[in-house]
Structure formats: structure tokens, C-alpha cells
């Protein structure tokens, strides 16, 4: 039986992190939106410590990843773990690895006394939504907004 293990990413893993980001973006039909570079990931994840990455490994081979960072809730007055990306290679799905990775992250939340474990999901991804609800997650009624590029510059400088 294959063995599932986890390991924290190191700086030398930046190319692999970018590879998993692109795989996730391709799955989400948004590969054309990925502008991240290895240099940017190295800077923000490892030099500035703005995010962390955990790899899921089957028999020592990286088969998935989770990228997360801390956010803060004013309502509960506590830090939260925000899961930005989670991806398991398609050929390794159906083995419980995604659930195991979520459990690993939930343990980090619990061990550190954070207020909650949160993430977003694309509205069209009903299988994932159903899965998250089956774990006991609540689907909140917030909409997510992004301001980037020229519109961000315009707001910042008007």
C-alpha cells in the first residue's frame, strides 16, 4: 500500500511550487491568468515569509500541494489560516489525499489556536463544494472581489 507523507516546501522547491500552481490554474481553466514567476514566489514565500507550502508525497514523490497564509478576523479577534491553493495530481485522486491534506492543515489551525480555517472555491466547482460541505465546512454568502492591473493603479492614484 502506498505511503502518504507531507513535507514543508524549501526554497529549492520554487520551480515545483510554480508547476503545481500552473496545474491548478489549468484545471480551473485560468492558466492564461498565471503571471507568477519563480523569482516572485521565492521573494514572497521565502524571503518575505508571506505564505507557506506543504507538499503531499506518495512514496516520496510530490503528488500535490497546499499553499496557505495567515489572515485576520476582526469578528473573532484571531488569526485564520487561509488556504489559497490545494491541488492533487489527477492520477492520485480518489485515494483520500486531498482530505488528508485538509486534515493536516486543520491540525495546524488547531495546534496554533487560530480562529478558523478558510478558503474559497469557484462557484462552478460543485463537486468540490459538495465535498467541503460534507466535511462540515459552511458556505458563506460573501462575494470575492479582485482589483488588479490598471484598475488598481487608477484607484491608487486618482
Whether the Cβ atoms of residue 52 and residue 67 lie closer than 8 Å to each other: yes
Strands 4-8 and 52-58: antiparallel
Q: Which of 68, 92, 97, 132 is catalytic?
A: 132
Residues β-bridged to residue 65? 55, 87
Cα(134)–Cα(37) distance, integer angstroms: 35
Distance of CA 55 to the CA centre of its chain: 11
43 is known as an active-site residue: no
C-alpha cell, 44? 514572497
Residue positions annotated with a catalytic role: 132
Amino acid at each position: 500500500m502506498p505511503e502518504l507523507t507531507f513535507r514543508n516546501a524549501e526554497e529549492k522547491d520554487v520551480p515545483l511550487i510554480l508547476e503545481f500552481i500552473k496545474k491548478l490554474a489549468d484545471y480551473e481553466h485560468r492558466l492564461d491568468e498565471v503571471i507568477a514567476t519563480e523569482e516572485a514566489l521565492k521573494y514572497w514565500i521565502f524571503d518575505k515569509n508571506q505564505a507557506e507550502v506543504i507538499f503531499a508525497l506518495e512514496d516520496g514523490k510530490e503528488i500535490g500541494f497546499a499553499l496557505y497564509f495567515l489572515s485576520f478576523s476582526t469578528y473573532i479577534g484571531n488569526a485564520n489560516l487561509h488556504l489559497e491553493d490545494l491541488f492533487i495530481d489527477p492520477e492520485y485522486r480518489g485515494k483520500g489525499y486531498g482530505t488528508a491534506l485538509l486534515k493536516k492543515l486543520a491540525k495546524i489551525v488547531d495546534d496554533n489556536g487560530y480562529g478558523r480555517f478558510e478558503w474559497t472555491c469557484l462557484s462552478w466547482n460543485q463537486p468540490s463544494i459538495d465535498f467541503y460541505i460534507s466535511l462540515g465546512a459552511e458556505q458563506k454568502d460573501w462575494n470575492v472581489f479582485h482589483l488588479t492591473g490598471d484598475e488598481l493603479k487608477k484607484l491608487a492614484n486618482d
